[in-house]
A = this chain, B = another copy of it.
Amino acid sequence: VRVELVTVGDELLLGDTINGNAAWLGRTLAGHGIEVTRSVVVADQQDEIIQAVQEALGRADAVITTGGLGPTYDDLTRDALAVAAGVPLTRDPELERRLRERAVAMDRPFVPMVLRMAEVPEGARQLPNPAGTAPGLRITLPGGPVYALPGIPSEMRALVEAEVLPLLLRDAPAGVPMARRILRTAGVWESVVAARLAPVEALDGVRLAYLPDSGEIRVRITATGPDASIVLAAAEEQARELLGHAVYGSGDETLDRVVHRLLAERNATVGTAESLTGGLIGAELTAMPGSSATYAGGVVAYATPLKTALLGVSAALLADGGAVQAQVAAEMAAGVRERLGATYGLAVTGVAGPEPQDGHPVGTVHIAVAGPDGRPQTVSPALPGTGSGERRRVQIRRLTVVHALDLLRRIILGLDVESSWRDDREDREASS
């Protein structure tokens, strides 16, 4: 089944709201083998809605609309579908009764405008709403069925799961099975990932897509054919082998969550000492609910003298070579580990720009992890970012967070930094 989405609402075109409904629908339908082939956002105007729905039905097997089913006069999806079907709207007495009861139950005045939600295009099927009062609608237009759903995410989702998916799957021709999986990598260049995965890309019935996002590359593997899930499993295994420890997780598991999981499995904690990132690493490590079990806390030693006062970095070292040195990162990591009583200390220092510092170019970054063995390990990636000025500064700080968490992950796993980190980042042979 090929489905197109029509999202209705001025607030989406004006960018006051992000189209999270379309993303959720895409993900959910794809999970059931239903392909969303196009997604359109239109204004709260009756002719725009009619035109978009008719065009979509010219291409796809079914259309799902969200939004425009509320009670106000800019809620026009119901009217648009009635016009497109050439039928009148009729008021449903049972719906009216429920709307009046609800106003009483919520101790709210009954506003006549609300009765718009009791109107149904003649011949349309009502889809009971498990999370609200106004039902969804299924109406057949020339070209195929249209499912009209409310724009409120909780109601939209409940209706899709309870009503729309079963109907779409019932109508689906027994199609070609499809299976999907996302692998998540950190610290490897997109071109290196793509070059390493060339043999997987060449497999029959397998497609790869690369989704880059500030230092991370997600790889989506799609297998199609009668044996889709077997083919997918084989492709995933081969991809993991080719990518090695660059793969940190799959699906929705983010890098911070992987770090928390690895720490929890070892009954360990981490403390952070930050300079150029100013607190971003701590913020990332406290994003997850329950993170206090494995994240102790941190120090932002932004002014150079604080690196000595708060973390015990040697004043002579700082006077000698400045704040941007691998050895400074190492002493910060050891210092924060000891002062916070954490199992691991993670530290970063470097130059976010836009100006060079102590002769070090923008993007010079030193990352250190001190572990139970007491000997901090450091890496010094060049993370110059692209562009200039403040945009580049944002990028460099974000890249530093990802590389820092990735170094911590590799060290918790007991990997040798030389052979794992550097191979993934400097793999020229494999990629050219």
Q: Report if A347 contacts B (CB, 8 A).
A: no
Q: Report if A378 contacts B (CB, 8 A).
A: no
Secondary structure call for the A interface: mixed
Return chain B residues, CB-CB under 8 Å to A96: none
Inter-chain contact B303/A353, CB cutoff 8 Å: no
Q: Report if A28 contacts B (CB, 8 A).
A: yes
Q: Report if A211 contacts B (CB, 8 A).
A: yes
Return chain B residues, CB-CB under 8 Å to A112: 432
A residues sitting closer than 8 Å to B (CB atoms) are: 10-20, 22-28, 30, 35-44, 48, 52, 55, 71-72, 74, 102, 105-114, 129-133, 152, 154-155, 158, 180, 182, 189-192, 194-195, 209-212, 218, 220, 269, 272, 274, 276-283, 285-289, 291-292, 295-303, 306, 309-310, 339-340, 352-355, 382, 384, 386-395, 397, 426-428, 431-432
Complex: A307 Cα to B344 Cα, angstroms:
19
Q: Which one, B131, B191, B288, contacts A114 given CB within 8 A?
A: B191
Inter-chain contact B72/A210, CB cutoff 8 Å: yes
Complex: A336 Cα to B326 Cα, angstroms:
27
Return chain B residues, CB-CB under 8 Å to A285: 278
Complex: A110 Cα to B17 Cα, angstroms:
40
Q: A292-B303, A391-B131 known; A109 and B431 CB under 8 Å?
A: yes
Return chain B residues, CB-CB under 8 Å to A339: 309-310
Most buried by B among A23, A30, A36, A211: A23
Q: A13-B26, A154-B394, A279-B281 known; A40 and B38 CB under 8 Å?
A: yes
Inter-chain contact A72/B194, CB cutoff 8 Å: yes
Inter-chain contact A111/B282, CB cutoff 8 Å: no
Q: A41-B39, A353-B289, A382-B106 known; A272 and B300 CB under 8 Å?
A: yes
Return chain B residues, CB-CB under 8 Å to A274: 279, 282
Which residue on B lies nearest to A102, using beta carbons? Answer: B386
Inter-chain contact A279/B300, CB cutoff 8 Å: yes
Inter-chain contact A108/B300, CB cutoff 8 Å: no
Complex: A299 Cα to B301 Cα, angstroms:
8
